[in-house]
Amino acid sequence: MAADDNFFERVYAVARQIPYGKVTSYGAIAKAIGSARSARMVGWAMNNCPDDVPAHRVVNRVGLLTGKHHFDGTNLMQQLLESEGVEVEDNQIVDFEKHLWKPEVQ
């Protein structure tokens, strides 16, 4: 259990660094913490993250809001992103590359 807790905390530490108005992917976070093949586990961590983690800024590798069903309300994830200037259309980030933050580069 301690190993999972450590993994989750590393995920949260990276997610807390995502800048306002930017998004990253589950896979990018996994790569940044040295577990490149653990994108699904990052998703699992984001499902139950602390309130201070901007989970709405984490999307799948092509910019889809795959985690939106974990937010209260029908469109809360999209509304949070749009309030930061990130355009979303049909549950996908518009101009994904423009908004993509790559933690391993930072």
Average pLDDT over residues 72-95: 95
Structure-block tokens of residue 95:
């101009």
Between CA 99 and CA 82 the distance in angstroms is 12
Between CA 64 and CA 62 the distance in angstroms is 6
Per residue in 36-61, pLDDT (tens digit) is 999 999 999 999 899 999 999 999 99
Pairing of the two strands 88-89 and 92-93: antiparallel
**Global pTM value:** 0.91
Structure-block tokens of residue 63:
């910019």
pLDDT at 69 over 70: yes
Structure-block tokens of residue 25:
């992917």
